[in-house]
Chain A
Amino acid sequence: MRIGVVTFPGSLDDRDAQRAIRLAGAEPVALWHGEHDLHGVDALVLPGGFSYGDYLRAGAIASLSPIMAEVIDAANGGMPVLGICNGFQMLTEAHLLEGGLIRNEAGRFICRDQQLRIENSTSDWTNGFAVNAEITIPLKNGEGSFMASAETLARLEGEGRIVARYLGNPNGSLNDIAGVSNARGNVVGLMPHPEHAVEAGFGPDTAEAMASGVDGLTFFTSVIARALVAA
């Protein structure tokens, strides 16, 4: 399986995402925002960072990049797409996901290992998790507070599209929402960073050992497993 990672001007975690894909057992493919070409990949990751310096709104200018035309077509056609942090912001700006992200409630940039509960174990990116699995992966953003209208929130909740919820709300996100999916479950956006918790020695601390947390790996193995089932 080949999974593309799109690099935008100001992306920071593109190489981390490529590494996570490789550790999960797929082939990472570097894609460039200025091209109109997905190079035949089977899935896509929009990585974290500060594309265009968060000018206008976080993710807004990147969502208008040339490659986003192909990303939107592919997502609407069912291709798995994961947006992490700035990538999540891009997916909301591109209208592939509902809701929006605003500045954290306390006005501060937050960088910490964050506990989450995985509430949707059927999406293309979370099917490898047990129902209500509790995991810990890094969170690092200044504008991660999830907002949506009451109607949108009710629909997301009713349709089981809250992918992950914070255990201990760090930023004022409505309903403790850390990640959501589209109706089909192929497009997922997540503010915390699974790609930073994929290799023992370089992840969050666990009760067993320092830096041994690899809870993020399951997002990437999930999409690979889903592709194998489909094949």
Chain B
Amino acid sequence: MSTIVVEIMPKAELLDPQGKAVARALGRLGQTQFSAVRVGKRFEITVDGPADAAALAAAAELADTVLSNSVIEDVVGIHVAPASTDATAAAVN
């Protein structure tokens, strides 16, 4: 099994009210060096078998058509998670 990671962000030109609310909360904690926060999404898609070119192409298609809405979001990254640092390993470490 392998894992394909898809990352999606709200379009840069649109307001991100969620990110603004988080940024204000950080300011209240005294973390004044952080001037802005934007909140996006990360999908970890488990593939039965190798994450080959066909699987990546299928994931890219889904990223554009289902996982994101191109009116309000951009797909900013699609990659295969390295086997040694996949999601589960990262959580344990």
Interface size on B, residues (CB 8 A): 13
Shortest beta-carbon distance from B38 to chain A in Å: 12
CB of B71 closer than 8 Å to a CB of A: yes
B17 is contacted by which of A93, A98, A105 (Cβ under 8 Å)? Answer: A105
Contact with B along A69-100 (1 / 0, CB 8 A): 00000000000000000000000110000111
Contact with A along B1-38 (1 / 0, CB 8 A): 00000000010001101101100000000000000000
Chain A residues positioned under 8 Å from B72 (CB to CB): 57, 100, 102, 147
Chain A residues positioned under 8 Å from B67 (CB to CB): 56
Which residues, 143 to 171 on A, are CB-close (under 8 Å) to B? 145, 147-149, 152
CB of B66 closer than 8 Å to a CB of A: yes
Which of A57, A60, A98, A99 neighbours the largest number of chain B CB atoms within 10 Å of its CB? Answer: A57
Chain A residues positioned under 8 Å from B21 (CB to CB): 107
CB of B69 closer than 8 Å to a CB of A: yes
A100 adjacent to B71 (CB under 8 Å): yes
What class of interface size applies to chain A in its complex with B? 20 to 34
Q: Would you call the interface of chain A mostly helix, strand, loop, or mixed?
A: loop
CB of A212 closer than 8 Å to a CB of B: no
Chain B residues positioned under 8 Å from A103 (CB to CB): 17-18
- Chain B residue nearest in CB terms to A64: B66
Bound-complex Cα distance A107 to B66 (A): 25
Bound-complex Cα distance A60 to B43 (A): 15
Given known contacts A60-B66, A102-B10, is B71 in contact with A148 (CB within 8 Å)?
A: yes
Please list the residues of chain A having a beta carbon within 8 angstroms of any beta carbon in chain B: 56-57, 60, 64, 92-93, 98-100, 102-107, 145, 147-149, 152, 172
